[in-house]
Structure 1
Amino acid sequence: MEFPLIAPRPPRLSALTEGLRRIEASGVFSNNGPEVRGFEAEITAQLFGGEGASLAVGNATLGLMVAIRQAAGMHPRPGTLALMPALTFAATAQAALWAGLTPLVCDVEADGWTADPRHEEELLARYGERIGVIVPYATFGTAIDLDRYAWLARTHRVGVVIDAAASLGTIDEGGRGFGTGAPFTIVYSMHATKTFSVAEGGLVYSGDATLIDQLRGMINFGFEAGRSATLPGINAKLPEVIALMARAKLAEIDAVCDARAAIDAAYRAALPAFTMQVATGRRQATQFMPVLLPRDLAAHRSAIVAALAEDGVGVGQYFSPHIGEQPLFRDHGLVEPTPVADDVAARMLSLPITDAMTPADAPVIAARLIAAIERVADGAAGRVGLRTEERSVATDLATVVIGGGPAGTAMLTSASKQDKLVPLAEAGLAIVERRTRMGAGELGSYAIRSDTTAETFLSAVKDNPHPELAALAQHPAGQLMERYVGELGAPLADTAPLLTATADRLKAIVTRHGGEVLTGHDATQVQRTADGRWATSVRDGAGAVRTLVSRNVVVATGGYQTDAQVAGKRVAGMPLGVLAGRRLMRSDVLLRQGGVEAVHERLRGVPSPRIAIVGASTSAIAAAVLLLKSQPGFAFGAGAVTILHRQPLKPFYPTIAAAHADGFHDFDENDICPVSGFVLRLAGLRLESRELVLRMLALGGRTPDPRVTSHRIGGDEDAAAREIIEGADLVVGALGYRPRAVSLLGVDGAPLALAHHAGRPMVDRHCRILDAQDRPVPGAYGIGLSAGFVPWGKLGGEASFTGQANGLWLWQNDVGQMIVDQLLEREAQAAA
C-alpha cells in the first residue's frame, strides 16, 4: 500500500449542487456575499464560542499581509522590523516584505519548535521600537501561549499577528478553539493541503471585532465606506464558491481532527526513540507527522527520503531550509544566529497523515522508516562516520582557520577586497567555528557602542570585487549600519547583522571554490605532524571527530576575561581582588547586555553609590560611559565614578592642527603616525570614549561631567589609589583580555611552550605565533583580540605606542592582507 504525504480531500463540489444553485440564483459571486457572511458567522460560533469576529480572505498569505500591515501601524517607517521564528513557512516572511517590513528572524525552542521566548525578549530589548510587529508561528498547528504574546504587546507596545496557518481545528488547554478571544489577529489557512482542506482560502480571526472591521476595509481596496479608499488596501476577498466549500468543511472538521489525532498518537507509540514535537492543547489539527532523525543520520536524510519513496511512502522536510537559510530572507532580512532551528531543520522529516489513513497505518509507515534507515546507514557508516569514535581525515589542505568570529572573517574580507579569496579557497581552505554561524562572534551580546565607525564596517563590503558582498551595502543589515554614519560609533548589537551577513556570503564564496566551512564545530587541539604539517582535531555537536591536516593554521579565537585574571592584577602594590573583595566586577560583565542591570542589583539600597573603574583602555572608558548614560540612571553625586589609570588618558586626533585647535598639546613627534599624520593613532581613545575624555580634560571648550573624575596611579605605594578602591561600593576591573588560544602540540603530543603562556604577545610583527623563546612557529599565525600585534612600517602607528592594536579596520585590511599574502606565498613555494 502506498502512502502519499498529502492527499487533499476538500468538500466535493458535485455534492454541493444545491449551494451552487443558490449562488447562481443570488447573482453574487464575491464581494462579501451571503455564503462568505454565513461561513464567517458559523465558524465564529462553532470554533470560537461566538467571541470576536472572523474575516474570510482569498488565502492565508493575503491575510498575513494585511494583518501585519495593520498591526505595524498602517504606515510603518522604512526599516521597521517584523520579528518571527526561523522555523516557519516562507509565506510568513514574504507577507512581512510585502507589508513593507524587514523580517527579523529569531531562534526556536527545542521542544515545541516555536519561537524561543528568551531570544524574542532579547531582540525586543535590543531593537526596541524598531520592531513594529511580532509574527509568531503556531508550528504545525500547535497551541502556543497567546497570553504571553498579549503581555509582550502591552509591555513593548508592539503589534502581534499569529501565523496559525495549520491550526484551524486545534483546541487549546481550556477546551476552546485555538485563538479564541485573542486581543490581536490570528491568521489560518484553508489551503487544500491543510487539515481544514478547502481549495484555496484563509481566515483572519480576532477577539477584538474592531480589528476585523478595519481589516474588512483593507481587503476591499481600502474602502471603509463607499468607493473612496481611506486605508492601505488590496483585493483579498474570498469568492462565494470557496466559502460554500468552507461551510461544508466546517461541518466535518471535528471528525477530521479527531481522526488525525488518533493517527498522531499511533505514530508516537510506534516510534518511541524518535524526537517529536511536544504536544500542547487538547487536540492539534495535525497536517502531517513531524519527527527528527538522530543527529548522526541528518547527513543521510535525502537518501532516507528516497528509500521511503521506493517503499511507497511520501515524506516531506518541513521546514528545511528554514527561512533564515533561504537566499531571499538572508539578503533582505536580519537573521540572528539560530542554532536550534538549524539543528531541527537539518533533521526534520514529515511523515504522512491523511484523511484516507487509519491509526493502523502509522506502525506500517514507522516500520518502513526504520527499514529505510537501516539500509541507508549500513551503506554509509564507513564513509561519513556515523559513530562518534570514528574519524575522517582531510589531508590535502593548505590552511585551517580556527575561529570564524570578527577577526577570522575579517581576514577573509581582506582577501576578498584584494581579490585573493578565491585563490585562498582553491588552495585548500577550511574554517572551523564553534558557533552555528560565522561573523559576529559575541559582539551582539554587548551593550556599548563600537570604537570603530559605521563607515569602517561598511567599507568591508562597499565596492568589494565580489558582487554578492558589494550588494550588502543595500541589504537591511547594511542599511541599519548606514544609520550610524557620522555618529560616535554604532551599537555593537547593531553591527552583528552586517558581520553575520558578510560571513554568510564569504562562506558561500569559499565553499563554491572548494573550501569547507565547519560551523558548529570545536577545534580541540592542533598537533604538529612528522612531516611538518598541522593536524587539527575537530569535534561536532554530536561528538563526532574529524582531523584536518594542513600546511598552515591561523588562530582567530579571540580573547576572554576571567574573575581570577582580574582579581590577580596588582594595583597600587596589591592584588585587586584583595583590595576590592566581593565588590569587584570584571568589565566584560558590565559591558554586556544585562550588565547595567547587574550593577543596579549590586547597588540596591545604596543611596549615593561610588564606583571605581581600574584601567585606561577603551573598555575602562566605555564602562564609565555606559554607567553615566544608563536609563534608569544611578544617583551619582560629584566624583561618584573614578577612573584609575597608570597611563595618561589621551584622545585621538586626525591632525596636529585639530589637536592644537582643541587646546590639546600633550604629545610630541613620537606620538604622530608617520603614515597617516594622525595624532595618537593607536593609543588615542576614539568615538564615545574619546568624547568623555575630551570632557574630562575640558578640551575644545567642553564642560566636564561633574559625576566622573580620574586618578593616575603613581606606583605600588599609592595610598590614595588604595583608598579610592577600598571606599568604592563597586570596583570594575578593566584590565585587558588574554588569548583564547587552542592548544598547539608538538610531534610527541606534548604542548608547545608559547610566548603568550608567559604573558607576552602571542604573535610577532608578521602575525606569526611565537614560541617561548620568541621564535616564530612555522606555519602558525594569529589574528584578533589579545593576539598582541603592533602595527609597523607601512601599517603606520606612532613610535611611542607600546600596547597591542585590536582594530577591525586593520584586520579587514593590512593585518588580514599580511597573513593572506604569507599563506599564498607558502603555497607558491610548496608548488615550486
Structure 2
Amino acid sequence: MTPLPLIAPNPPRLSELGPDLRRVEASGVFSNNGPEVRAFEAEATERLFGGRGACLAVANATLGLMIAIRDAAGARPRPESLALVPALTFAATAHAAQWAGLTPLVCDIDPDDWSACPRDEERLLHAYAGRVSVVVPYATFGNAIDLDRYRWFSKRFGVGVVVDAAASLGTLDEAGVGFGADAPFPVVFSMHATKPFSVAEGGLVHSGDVQLIERLRRMASFGFGEPRSATGPGVNAKLPEVIAVMARAKLAGFDAACAHRAALEQAYRGSLAGFGLQRVAGLRRASQFMPVMLPDRVAERRDAIAAALEAQGIGVGRYFSPHLGQQPWFRDSALIEPTPVADAVGGRLLSLPITDAMTVEDARRAAAALAAACGRLGRTTPATVRAAPPIASALIAGGGPAGTALLTAASKSGRLEALSQGLVLVERSAGLGQGRLARYAINSDSTAQTFLTAVRGNPHPELASLADHPAAHAVERHADGLGVPLAEVGPLLAATGERLGGIVRGQGGEVLTGHEVVSATRAGDLWRVALRRVTDGAGSERLARNLVIATGGHQPLDRLATQQVAGAPLLELADGRLLQSDEVLSSGGLQHVAALLQNKRAPRIAVIGGSTSALTAVALLLRSRPGLALGAGAVTLLHRRPLRPFYHSVEAAHAEGYTDFTDRDVCPVSGFVYRLAGFRLEARQLLLRMLEVDGRAADPRVRLHRIGGDEDEDARAIVRGADLVIAALGYRPRVLPLLDEAGMGLPLAADRDRPMVDRHCRVLGADGAAVPGVYGIGLAAGFVPWGKLGGEASFSGQANGLWLWQNDVGAMIVDQLLEPALRAVA
C-alpha cells in the first residue's frame, strides 16, 4: 500500500517560479521589507483575514512570538515578569517568552479542547497579580480558540496577550473569517515547511491594530524607528524576498488545500468511535495532522501501537509528549503549576497523517489500522497478577509543605535515602510541596531566608541547584521585606517537592499524587491504610509499619456553632454577616469582602481572634487594592489575650522602649523575646503601630478591643453593629480516622479539641497516651517546642512554622522512623 507519512511538506516548487525569482533579481532587493514581502502581507490580509487589520511577515514564527511578547511586556520588563503559557504546546512558545525576558508560568489544559484551562488561567492571574505581564495562549493543533476570553483578561488584569497560532493559518472562526482576524493583539502563525501553509520557513503576525503591526515591524528590523537608529528593542526578524515569492505562490491554492485537509479530518472523526478526540471550534480547521487520544485500557502500550502502525507505512507522532512541564529545560527554568490534565492527555496522544496528497480513503485506512492495533494489543496484553505491595516502613499522609518538610529535614542530615527505602508518600493534589499554600493572597509569616535554606547548600545536588531556579529568585527578591507573597512561595515549594519526590522514587519509595488517605486500621503491629484515587474514586490499600499525618489544618464550620464572644453565641451576634478568616485570606477573598460591603457607605468590620491569621486579615483589609472605603475606627480587632510583638533580643526591645515582658518571656536558647507567642513580619509591624511603640503612629482605621469577660457588653455591641464579622479563631488539624482491629474508631485527643501530638510528635489518644507508630506534623498539630528547641517559659499554645518542620521537628520524626531500622542494622 501507499505509505502515509505523518507530514509531507508541500511548498511551492522553486523550479516553477522562475519569472518571479527573476523579478526579485531584477529589483536588486532581497530583504528589508522589499516589494515581494509587502505584496504578500497585503494579499494575506485580504485573502486570509477579510481585509481587516494588517499583517507582518517574519523570518519564522518563533521570532514573531519573541517580538510580539516583548512588545506586550513593555520595552523593559521587570526581572520577575511572567508569561502565562499552557503545558500542551511546542517548546518554541516558552522559549520565545524567555528570549523576550520573561519566565514562563506553565498552567494546565482543558480536558475537552486541550487549550489552556480557563479556570487555571484566571486563578493564576489572581495569584500572580502584578507579575504576569503577558498571557500566551496556544491555538492547540490549529483550533480556533476563544479570543473573547483573552480580550477580557487583557482589560480585567491589565496584561498583554499574544496568541500562538502556529498551526492555525487557514482555520476559519465561527463567522467564517480567518482565525484571529481583527484581533486587538498579535496572533502569530507559522509558515514552516511542515505546516499546512508550507514554505521553506517563515511566519506571519496578524492584528486588527495596524499601529501595533507597524511597531512590531520596527522591532523586526533592529528597532530602527529612525534611519539606522534604534529607538526601541529590536532583532533581525525580516522575511527574505525569495521566501515571500514562495508565500505568494502558496496563497493561490491554499483555500482548496485547507478544505481538503478539513475533509480528511472529518473522515478520521467518522472512523474513530471510542477514541478521545479534541473538541473543535470554528467552521473549519486547517489540520497539520490528526491528534487522537488512546483509550485508557491501551494507553500504556502507546509505543507498541505506534510501532504497529509504522510497520504498515503509516507515520505517527506524539505531539506534545513530553509537554512543557515535563521537559528538563523548562523544569529548571520555568514555574510549573500542577498539570494533571496535560499529563493524562499528553501521555495518551498519537498523531495520524493529514497531508495534501492523501485521500479520504487513506484517512479511513489509517483510522482502521489504529483501531485494529489497539484491539489486537489490548486483547493480547499478557494477564499479570499483581503481587501485593510490600509493607511500607512508613506512610506519609499529605505531601504539602509539612509532609515534604519531613523529607527536607532528612535530606539536610543525609538520611533521605534511608528514609525513602520502603516509604509511601500520598498527596491529594497533582504535585508535591505547595499544598494549598499558593491559594492565599497574603504574605508569609516566615522570611525569604527560611524558604531558601531548604535548598541552599543541600547535600543533594538536585535540591541545591534549585537555589538558581526562577522560583528561588522570586522568593529572594523579598529578602528584606515583610514576608514573601505566598503565591510566590508556592512555586519554590512545588519545585522542591518535585525533586524530593524524584529522590524518594529513585531510592525505591512510592509517591502517589492524586490520591488521598481515607482511614488507617490497626492490623497487629501494622496499619492497613485505605487510599482513594481522586479522579475516579478507585480504592486501594497499603500496609505500613508507621504513619505520619501531615494533612494540614482547616477552620471547621461546626466550631462556629459553639463559639461565644463575651458570653453570647457568635452566630447570634453576627446574624448572617459572618466569614471565616480563611475565606478572606484566600485569593479572591478581598473581592468577596468588597462585594458584601459595596452598599455600605462607612462599613464596620469586626475581626475576632488574637492569632496571626487575625492580624494578617486586618493588614490585608488595610492594604486592599482597590482600597475598601474604610474610615476612622472601621476595623475593630477583638481579642482575649495580650498581643505581643517578637524581638530578636531584650536589648532590641528596650531600645524601642518596649518593656512589657519578664524573664519568663525570653527564650533561654536564642535570647528572643516572645519567640513563640510574638507576632512577626507584617503582623508585627501592624501591632507595633497599634501599640504606638517607639513613637509609631497608630492607623486610625483600626482599633483594638481586649474582651473583658462574659460581661463585656461593649464587645457584644461591636459585633452586633458590624457590617461584616470575620472569625479568625485559628485552625484545627485534619485528623485522619484511625480504627482499631475491630474497625471501631480510636478516640483521639484532637477530637476533644486538644493538641493532636505530644512533645515527641506522637499522635495522642483521647486518654493522653501515644498511639503506637503514628506521628503528626504541620499546621494545627499542636506541637510545642521544648529543650534544645527553645521557647519562652510563659508560652502556652502551639508553634507552627516551616523552619521548625524542616529542621528540628522533622528530624525528631525521622529519628523515630529510622530508629528500628538502625537497631536492626546494628
- What range is the shorter-chain TM-score in? over 0.9
Deviation of the 1:177 alpha carbon: 1.0
Match of 2:101 in 1: 100
In 1: Cα distance, 2:90 partner to 2:685 partner: 47
CA deviation after TM superposition for structure 1 residue 592, in Å: 1.1
**Alignment pair present for 1:264 and 2:265:** yes
Q: Is the 8 A contact 1:523 1:537 kept in 2?
A: yes
In structure 2, the partner of 1:601 is 595
- 2:756/2:776 contact within 8 Å kept: yes
Which blocks of at least 5 consecutive residues in structure 2 are unaligned?
none
Tell me, yes or no, if structure 1 residue 527 matches structure 2 residue 528. Answer: no
What are the superposed Cα offsets for residues 515-550 of structure 1, whole Å, 9 maximum, x if unpaired?
Answer: 222211222222233453444434252344332222
1:29-108 matches, within 5 Å, as 29-108=30-109
Question: Greater CA deviation, 149-158 or 598-607?
Answer: 149-158
Aligned residue identity for 1:232: P
Which residue in the other structure is 1:495 paired with?
A: 489
Task: Pick from 741, 744, 757 the counterpart of residue 750 of structure 1.
Answer: 744
Give how far 1:810 is off: 0.5
**d(CA) in 1 for partners of 2:794 and 2:380?**
64
Report deviation, 1:297: 4.2
Aligned to 2:417: 422
Q: 1:31 to 1:630 in 2, by over 3 A?
A: closer
Aligned partner of 1:715 in structure 2 is: 709
Distance in 2 between residues matched to 1:611 and 1:225, nearest whole Å: 58
Q: Is contact 1:223–1:229 with CA below 8 Å preserved after alignment?
A: yes
SS of 1:632 mapped into structure 2: coil
Secondary structure, counterpart of 1:412 in structure 2: helix
Q: Which amino acid aligns with 1:284?
A: R
- Pairing partner for 1:808 from 792, 798, 802: 802
Cα deviation for residue 8 of structure 1 reads 2.1
Residue 653 of structure 2 corresponds to residue 659 of structure 1: yes
Q: Deviations over 1:260-293 (max 9, x none)?
A: 1112112222223333221111111111122223
Asked if residue 581 in structure 1 is aligned to residue 575 in structure 2, the reply is yes
CA pair 459-36 structure 1, distance change in 2 beyond 3 A: same
Structure 1 distance, partners of 2:713, 2:384, is 67
Maintained 8 Å contact 2:518/2:529: no
Correspondence for 1:122: 123
Partner of 2:618: 624
Specify the alignment match of 1:387 in structure 2.
Answer: none
1:826 aligns with 2:820: yes
Q: 1:711 to 1:444 in 2, by over 3 A?
A: same
Mapped contact 1:296–1:542 kept (Cα < 8 A): no
Distance in 1 between residues matched to 2:529 and 2:704, nearest whole Å: 50
5 Å matches for 1:340-351? 340-351=341-352
- 1:471 corresponds in structure 2 to 465
Contact 2:127 2:438 in 1 (8 A): no
Q: Look up the match of 2:293.
A: 292
Equivalent in the alignment of 1:198 = 199
CA distance in 1, matches of 2:655, 2:383: 72
2:510 aligned to 505, 511, 516, which one? 516
Aligned equivalent of 1:406: 401
Listed one character per residue, the Cα deviations across residues 3-39 of structure 1 (whole Å, up to 9, x for unaligned) are 3322222223333334344444444443434433332
Change (3 A) 1:75 1:584: closer
Q: Unaligned stretches of 5+ in structure 1? A: 385-390
| C-alpha deviation, 1:569, in angstroms | 1.9
Residue 433 of structure 2 aligns with an amino acid whose one-letter code is: G
Contact 2:528–2:543 (8 Å) recurs in 1: yes
SS of residue in 2 equivalent to 1:726: helix
The aligned length equals: 825
| Residue identity opposite 1:407 in structure 2 | A
- Secondary structure, counterpart of 2:363 in structure 1: helix
Counterpart for residue 388 of structure 1:
none
Q: Shift of the alpha carbon at 1:402?
A: 1.4
Q: 2-side partners of 1:230 and 1:802: how far apart? A: 64
Structure 1 Cα separation of the partners of residues 819 and 198 of structure 2: 63
The reply to whether residue 797 of structure 1 matches residue 797 of structure 2 is no
Judge conservation of contact 1:562–1:586 (CA < 8 Å) in 2. Answer: no
Secondary structure of 2:11 counterpart: coil
Paired residues of 1:318 and 1:345 also in contact (CA < 8 A): yes
Which stretches of structure 1, 4 residues or longer, exceed 6 Å deviation after superposition?
Answer: none
8 A contact 1:166–1:195 mirrored in 2: yes
CA gap 1:789/1:260 in 2 versus in 1, 3 angstroms:
same
AA aligned to 1:493 is: A
Please give the alpha-carbon distance, in whole angstroms, between the structure 2 residues aligned to 1:587 and 1:441: 18
Q: Say whether the 8 Å CA contact 2:528–2:541 is kept in structure 1.
A: no
Task: Give the superposition deviation at 1:729.
Answer: 2.1
Determine if contact 2:298/2:377 at 8 Å carries over to the other structure.
Answer: no
C-alpha distance 535-268 of structure 1, shift in aligned 2 (>3 A): same
- Post-superposition Cα deviations, 1:216-262, rounded to whole Å, max 9, x if no partner, equal 33333333443343333332232333223222221121111111111
The aligned residue for residue 142 of structure 2 is: 141
Comparing 639-648 with 188-197, greater Cα deviation is found at: 639-648
Deviation at 1:675, TM superposition (A): 1.1
Matches within 5 A, 1:433-582: 433-582=427-576
- Residues 714-733 of structure 1: CA deviation (Å, up to 9, x unaligned): 33343332232222222211
8 Å Cα contact 1:318-1:349 kept in structure 2: yes
Instruction: Tell me, in whole angstroms, the C-alpha distance in 2 between the residues paired with 1:669 and 1:772.
Output: 34
Given that 1:680 and 1:798 are in contact with CA atoms closer than 8 Å, whether structure 2 keeps it comes out as: yes
C-alpha contact (below 8 Å) 1:608/1:635 kept by paired residues: yes
Aligned to 2:332: 331
Q: Secondary structure at the match of 1:84?
A: strand
- Counterpart for residue 170 of structure 1: 171
Segment of structure 1 superposing worse, 527-536 or 401-410: 527-536
- Alpha carbons 1:529, 1:535 under 8 Å: kept: no
Structure 1 match to 2:216: 215
> Is 1:702–2:696 an aligned residue pair?
yes
Rounded to whole Å, the distance in 2 between the matches of 1:177 and 1:199 is 22
Range moving further from structure 2, 274-283 or 166-175 = 274-283
Q: From the superposition, tell whether residues 411 and 22 of structure 1 become closer, same or farther in structure 2 (CA, over 3 Å).
A: same
Q: Distance in 2 between matches of 1:708 and 1:75?
A: 39
- Which stretch shows the higher mean deviation, 120-129 or 514-523? 120-129
Q: CA deviation at 1:64?
A: 1.1
- Flag the 1:129–1:615 CA change in 2: closer, same or farther, 3 A: closer
SS in 1 for 2:128: helix
**Distance 1:824-1:302 versus aligned 2 partners, 3 A rule:** farther
Q: Is the 8 A contact 1:566 1:586 kept in 2?
A: no
Distance 1:157 1:540, change over 3 A: closer
Match of 1:361 in 2: 362
CA distance in 2, matches of 1:224, 1:709: 57
Contact 2:783 2:798 in 1 (8 A): yes
- After the TM superposition, which of the residue ranges 669-678 and 544-553 deviates more from structure 2? 544-553
Equivalent position amino acid for 1:179 in 2: G
Residue identity in the other structure for 1:429: L
**Shift in Å, 1:396:** 4.0
Letter in 1 for 2:636: T
Structure 1 residue 147: Cα displacement:
3.5
Q: How big is the shift at 1:392? A: 6.9
In the alignment, the residues of structure 2 paired with residue 458 and residue 94 of structure 1 have an alpha-carbon distance, to the nearest angstrom, of 26
Q: Is the 8 A contact 2:783 2:799 kept in 1?
A: yes
Match of 1:317 in 2: 318
SS of alignment partner, residue 115 of structure 2: coil
In the TM superposition, what whole-angstrom CA distance separates every residue of 1:712-771 from its partner, at most 9, and x where no partner exists?
223334333223222222221111222213322233333322221222211111111122
TM-score by length of 2: 0.95
**Matching residue within 385, 392, 395 for 2:390:** 395
Distance 1:232 1:256, change over 3 A: same
Question: How far is the alpha carbon of 1:298 from its aligned partner?
Answer: 3.6
Pick the aligned partner of 2:771 from 771, 774, 777: 777
CA shift, 1:383, in A, is: 4.3
**Mean Cα displacement is larger for which, 684-693 or 822-831?**
822-831
Q: Is 1:187 matched with 2:182?
A: no
Q: Distance in 2 between matches of 1:376 and 1:771?
A: 53
The match for 1:760 among 748, 754, 758 is 754
> How far apart in 1 are the matches of 2:302 and 2:542?
25
